[in-house]
């Protein structure tokens, strides 16, 4: 109950324009942006991605921040920055996922806008993929709150059916995810499994950490099954839990998956020592690398994922 209340409070803070403006203009909170964000511009994000690959052999999922937007000008700004990241693929030969939230590209303005804009970004990513063959380029659809599950899956499937490189995020805390994952395995999709940072009622979501971890293990086993491999499915396991890492590696080896057939993803600024250790073992690792001016919603959700991180927020407010 405490954890759910904490998460709900952090999400409310993430969405408050007044709090966002105060936090993003406060010197006291600047360390939060430096910890979790790569910079303000596309160039900042690309430079961080290049450094991660050159220095650690770690790939990136670049995310231009700016979620839950409700004006057309902000939608167009988001789309242009996603396109700029996609264009950078052909210039750098980086293996990059371009992450996008449906609300960034028009869902709250007009859901009909999302299809056109998603296809435009995916087409640009497709051109980069043709130049640097063998890389795992894709338009990665992030999953937001539970109300957006069906619209996000629908637009992912449409982009996939058009032949563009794309991937879908599913959340282990939701009860429906087992069925959603089974459908994506049959499609031979790329799926990133995350825990899920949103709060939801017990009728649609597991409530305890133990339940969510049990479901994570079940879903990871599905992702790394012989059936998934045969279908051409590509697993992306996004967790900082070292026990789940070891569980996934064991399931992979049992079923004939080798490093490079799947990957692990983690967040920039969160347990990067774990990411480096896995990369040194030969595992394919990717970091979620956000950039942009609106860093507060992203940073506060990272705090909200764990009540123990309250000290970070308290430190910023009393500094």
Alpha carbon distance, N-terminus to C-terminus of the chain? 29
d(CA 167, CA 238) in angstroms, rounded, equals 13
pTM (two decimals): 0.86
Residues in the chain: 319
pLDDT tier, 153 (very low <50, low <70, confident <90, very high otherwise) = very high
- pLDDT tops 60 at residue 133: no
pLDDT tier, 301 (very low <50, low <70, confident <90, very high otherwise) = low
Strands 190-194 and 234-238: parallel
303 Cβ contact partners less than 8 Å away, ≥ 6 residues apart:
10, 32, 309, 310, 312, 313
- pLDDT tops 70 at residue 8: no
SS3 call for 289: strand
Helices (H), 93-148: 112-131
* CA distance readout (Å), 213 to 47, 58, 182, 218, 244: 35, 25, 18, 9, 8
Residue with tokens 């991180």, as numbered in its chain: 309
291 neighbors 41 (Cβ within 8 angstroms):
yes
Q: Could you give all domains of the chain from N- to C-terminal order, each with its CATH number? A: 1-35+296-319 (no CATH), 38-294 (3.20.20.220)
- pLDDT tops 60 at residue 239: yes
The overall average pLDDT reported for the chain is 85
Q: What is the pLDDT of residue 228?
A: 98
187 Cβ contact partners less than 8 Å away, ≥ 6 residues apart:
157, 160, 231
pLDDT tier, 189 (very low <50, low <70, confident <90, very high otherwise) = very high
- Percent of residues, the chain, with pLDDT higher than 90: 52
84 Cβ contact partners less than 8 Å away, ≥ 6 residues apart:
42
DSSP string for 214-265: HHHHHHHHHHTSHHHHHTT-EEEEE---HHHHHHHHHHHHHTT--TTSSEEE
pLDDT tier, 315 (very low <50, low <70, confident <90, very high otherwise) = very low
pLDDT tier, 173 (very low <50, low <70, confident <90, very high otherwise) = very high
What angle is formed at CA 294 by the lines to CA 292 and CA 299, rounded to 5 degrees?
100
Which of these, 19, 54, 24, 53, lies nearest to 37 by C-alpha position?
Answer: 24
């Amino acid at each position: 109950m405490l954890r759910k209340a904490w998460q709900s409070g952090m999400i409310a803070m993430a969405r408050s324009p007044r709090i966002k403006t105060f936090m993003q203009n406060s010197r006291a909170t600047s360390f939060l942006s430096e910890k979790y964000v790569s910079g303000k511009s596309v160039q900042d994000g690309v430079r961080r991605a290049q450094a991660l690959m050159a220095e650690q052999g770690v790939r990136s999922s670049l995310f231009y921040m700016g979620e839950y937007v409700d004006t057309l000008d902000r939608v167009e700004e988001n789309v242009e920055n996603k396109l700029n990241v996609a264009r950078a693929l052909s210039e750098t030969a980086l293996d990059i996922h371009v992450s996008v939230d449906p609300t960034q590209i028009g869902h709250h303005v007009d859901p009909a806008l999302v299809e056109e804009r998603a296809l435009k970004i995916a087409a640009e990513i497709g051109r980069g993929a043709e130049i640097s063959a063998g890389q795992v380029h894709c338009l990665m659809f992030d999953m937001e709150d539970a109300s957006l599950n069906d619209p996000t899956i629908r637009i992912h499937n449409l982009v996939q059916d058009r032949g563009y490189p794309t991937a879908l995020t599913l959340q282990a805390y939701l009860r429906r995810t087992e069925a959603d994952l089974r459908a994506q395995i049959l499609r031979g999709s790329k799926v990133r499994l995350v825990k899920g940072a949103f709060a939801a009622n017990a009728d649609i979501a597991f409530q305890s950490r133990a339940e969510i971890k049990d479901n994570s293990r079940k879903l990871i086993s599905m992702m790394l099954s012989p059936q998934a491999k045969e279908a051409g499915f590509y697993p992306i396991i996004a967790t900082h839990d070292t026990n789940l890492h070891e569980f996934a590696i064991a399931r992979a080896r049992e079923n004939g998956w080798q490093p490079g057939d799947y990957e692990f993803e983690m967040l920039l600024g969160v347990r990067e020592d774990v990411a480096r250790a896995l990369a040194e073992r030969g595992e394919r690792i990717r970091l979620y690398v956000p950039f942009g001016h609106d860093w507060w919603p992203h940073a506060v959700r990272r705090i909200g994922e764990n009540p123990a991180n309250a000290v970070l927020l308290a430190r910023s407010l009393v500094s």
